[in-house]
């Protein structure tokens, strides 16, 4: 649990796809850079969206631990190297 809401990632990605994806693609022309930006903005966006939901529902704020940062870095490196 650690403060993250059920299905919050699906809701965030729906909003992210509708709002930010086209703008990021237009702004950057490097495919590997775009994928890395998608990964990092996904992790940070999901965290901030859960903070927003925690404030609304007056629950404990989600923890941004070192593990979360390590997963973000590893996923970014995989996206940069593989694709």
- Measured between alpha carbons, how far apart are the two ends of the chain, in Å? 31
Average pLDDT over residues 65-77: 94
* pTM, entire model: 0.86
pLDDT for residue 66 is more than 90:
yes
- DSSP structural state of residue 20: T
Confidence at residue 1, expressed as pLDDT on a 0 to 100 scale: 59
Residue 62 confidence (pLDDT) above 80: yes
Enter the DSSP assignment of 68: H
Residue 7 backbone zone (phi > 0: left; psi -120 to 50: alpha; other: beta)? left
Q: For 27-59, how does the pLDDT look when each residue is reduced to its tens digit (9 = 90+)?
A: 999 988 999 999 999 999 999 999 999 999 999
């Amino acid at each position: 649990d650690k403060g993250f809401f059920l299905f919050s990632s699906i809701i965030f990605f729906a909003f992210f796809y509708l709002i930010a994806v086209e703008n990021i693609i237009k702004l950057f022309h490097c495919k590997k850079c775009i994928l890395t930006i998608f990964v990092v903005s996904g992790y940070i966006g999901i965290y901030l969206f859960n903070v927003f939901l925690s404030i609304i529902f007056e629950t404990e704020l989600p923890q941004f631990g070192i593990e979360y940062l390590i997963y973000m870095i590893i996923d970014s490196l995989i996206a940069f190297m593989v694709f």
